[in-house]
């Protein structure tokens, strides 16, 4: 006879992502009984340390350190082994640090709601039900499969997760989609030695960024030997013995590219399939995202959704901030919300990285703002010798300024250390520091931040 184990907790967390684990740790520290359910033992800690930020940025580092005399396949295999070692350590550490607490339990299995307060994990004799008055959902997102005939079922299609687990470097990698994921993998694999082709449906790369910045990005990628095809609509994928034949239309003509592997980097969607949200009375959008208010409460006030699953920006640090908001509802005064977020930066980890924040020039002009634009190519910034000391002078810095208040409205930093410099700019924007103050500030030397001393004086429009 099948039996079911019934467990109860003060808080149930579904998904071991950044937001979920951060909240779980904080709640257990107050003495609350927390049960966290994660469907895969390969994902303790969430996407970031296992298949996202940590392994991909480690590959950025490895690929950039390859010497001409390094044999490509051997160097790549050694790099992947290094990635595996680190992600395995992080995964084990994430599990032990939470499950090792007296009031926390990690259960591996797929959770599905039975009712608004209960989930079921597993089936048959292994079935467990967990009931809690507070539930946090942090199941993340999953890749969107391309809709071109033959693409989804192709045996040559790989995901970003597949790529970072394979120790064989593809001779040729075709990437469908020129968004953040696609461009990062294009840069990584080109530097490792693969031939890389990007098929992007839009007329240019990074259509949400200013055209002049996107043009510099495109120049860097093509300069590295990446074949960039914009305005390319993939129409079909056909498998052959030697690889996939990808057909695409451009300018009214059909072209075909053959490859042994292709990455579909056409976006991600909230991972809600199989959660049984209807049984919990939790509303979702047409895209499957869980509907939340500014406090991250769902249509069931005792259920919160954190991270990618709620349809917000797909960044680990947003998931972390989601945890802060939820913890403020559960342990604080409840005043914190998503409306508190201003000047949130983002980084595209190509080489060199592109970090952006706030309004673009096009957006500011569309809003009718009275603006000034400060812009300078990295190679021309005299106040930034660091670019020359590390032999990376490609890129551009561009800042959008309010001509009436001297406040920084936005910026794009395409340069060495951009992922760090953007955090200084973000803090300045949040605190109302003016462009003139940034220009006159004292910075260490040689550093990338000291470019502010010069670039804010280079008014071009």
Domain final residue pick, 266, 290, 307? 266
Regarding whether 206 and 79 lie in a shared domain, the answer is no
Q: Is residue 407 in a domain? A: yes
Q: For the segment 74-98, what is each residue's pLDDT rounded down to a tens digit?
A: 999 999 999 999 999 999 999 999 9
Distance CA 293, CA 98 (A): 28
CB atoms within 10 A of CB 5: 12
Regarding whether 134 and 23 lie in a shared domain, the answer is yes
Helix, strand, or coil here: 264? strand
Angle between helices 72-99 and 53-64 (to 10 degrees): 150
Q: What are phi and psi of 64, to 5 degrees?
A: -75, -15
Domain final residue pick, 266, 288, 304? 266
Q: Give Cα 371 to chain centroid, integer Å.
A: 30
Highest mean pLDDT among 63-72, 123-132, 401-410: 401-410
158 token code pair? 């790989």
Regarding whether 309 and 251 lie in a shared domain, the answer is no
Q: Is residue 151 in a domain? A: no
Angle between helices 180-192 and 53-64 (to 10 degrees): 40
Partners of 297 in the β-ladder: 304
Domain final residue pick, 266, 290, 313? 266
Total domains, the chain: 3
Q: For the segment 125-153, what is each residue's pLDDT rounded down to a tens digit?
A: 789 999 999 999 999 999 888 889 999 99
CB atoms within 10 A of CB 3: 9
Q: Is residue 149 in a domain? A: no
Distance CA 323, CA 306 (A): 7
1 pLDDT tier (thresholds 50, 70, 90): very low
> Domain containing 230 — which CATH number?
3.50.50.60
Task: Provide the pLDDT for residue 2.
Answer: 55
Q: Is residue 152 in a domain? A: no
Average pLDDT, the chain: 95
Q: Is residue 441 in a domain? A: yes
pLDDT above 50: residue 319: yes
pLDDT above 90: residue 51: no
Q: For the segment 347-382, what is each residue's pLDDT rounded down to a tens digit?
A: 999 999 999 999 999 999 999 999 999 999 999 999
In sequence order, which ranges of 269-417 are alpha helices (DSSP H)?
Answer: 277-280, 316-330, 361-366, 386-389
pLDDT above 90: residue 42: no
3 pLDDT tier (thresholds 50, 70, 90): low
Task: Provide the pLDDT for residue 46.
Answer: 87
Regarding whether 280 and 135 lie in a shared domain, the answer is yes
Regarding whether 115 and 10 lie in a shared domain, the answer is yes
Element holding 72 (H helix, E strand): helix 72-99
Q: For the segment 101-114, what is each residue's pLDDT rounded down to a tens digit?
A: 999 999 999 999 99
Percent of the chain past pLDDT 70, that is, above it, reads: 99
Q: What are phi and psi of 112, to 5 degrees?
A: -140, 135
Query: Could you tell me the residue range of the domain that residue 133 belongs to?
Result: 5-142+269-340
Residues serving a catalytic function are 445
70 token code pair? 């390094």
């Amino acid at each position: 006879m099948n039996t079911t184990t019934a467990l109860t907790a003060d808080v149930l967390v579904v998904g071991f992502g950044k937001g979920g684990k951060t909240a779980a740790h904080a709640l257990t520290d107050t003495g609350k009984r927390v049960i966290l359910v994660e469907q895969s033992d390969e994902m303790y800690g969430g996407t970031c340390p296992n298949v996202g930020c940590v392994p991909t940025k480690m590959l950025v580092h490895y690929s950039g350190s390859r010497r001409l005399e390094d044999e490509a396949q051997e160097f790549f295999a050694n790099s992947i082994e290094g990635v595996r070692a680190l992600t395995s350590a992080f995964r084990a550490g994430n599990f032990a640090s939470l499950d090792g607490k007296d009031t926390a339990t990690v259960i591996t299995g797929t959770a599905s709601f039975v009712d608004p307060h209960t989930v079921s994990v597993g089936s048959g004799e292994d079935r467990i039900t967990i009931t809690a008055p507070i539930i946090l959902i942090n199941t993340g997102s999953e890749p969107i499969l391309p809709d071109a005939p033959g693409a989804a079922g192709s045996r040559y299609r790989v995901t970003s997760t597949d790529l970072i687990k394979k120790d064989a470097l593809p001779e040729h990698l075709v990437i469908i989609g020129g968004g953040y994921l696609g461009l990062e993998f294009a840069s990584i694999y080109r530097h490792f030695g693969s031939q890389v082709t990007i098929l992007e449906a839009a007329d240019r790369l990074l259509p949400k960024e200013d055209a002049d910045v996107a043009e510099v990005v495109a120049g860097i990628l093509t300069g590295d030997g990446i074949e960039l095809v914009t305005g390319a609509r993939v129409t079909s994928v056909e498998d052959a013995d030697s690889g996939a034949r990808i057909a695409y239309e451009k300018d009214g003509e059909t072209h075909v590219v053959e490859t042994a592997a292709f990455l579909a980097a056409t976006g991600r969607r909230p991972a809600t399939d199989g959660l049984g949200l209807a049984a919990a009375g939790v509303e979702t959008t047409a895209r499957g995202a869980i509907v939340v208010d500014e406090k991250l409460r769902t249509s069931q006030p005792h259920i919160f959704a954190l991270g990618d699953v709620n349809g917000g920006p797909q960044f680990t640090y947003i998931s972390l901030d989601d945890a802060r908001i939820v913890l403020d509802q559960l342990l604080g005064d409840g005043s914190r919300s998503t409306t508190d977020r201003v000047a949130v930066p983002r980084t595209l980890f190509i080489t060199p990285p592109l970090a952006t924040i706030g309004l673009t020039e096009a957006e500011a002009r569309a809003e009718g703002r009275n603006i000034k634009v400060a812009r300078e190519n990295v190679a021309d910034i005299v106040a930034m010798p660091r670019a020359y000391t590390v032999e990376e002078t490609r890129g551009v810095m561009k800042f959008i300024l309010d001509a009436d208040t001297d406040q920084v409205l936005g910026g794009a930093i395409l340069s060495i250390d951009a992922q760090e410099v953007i955090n200084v700019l973000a803090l300045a924007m949040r605190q109302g520091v003016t462009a003139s103050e940034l220009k006159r500030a004292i910075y260490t030397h040689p550093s990338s931040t000291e470019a502010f001393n010069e670039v804010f004086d280079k008014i071009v429009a």
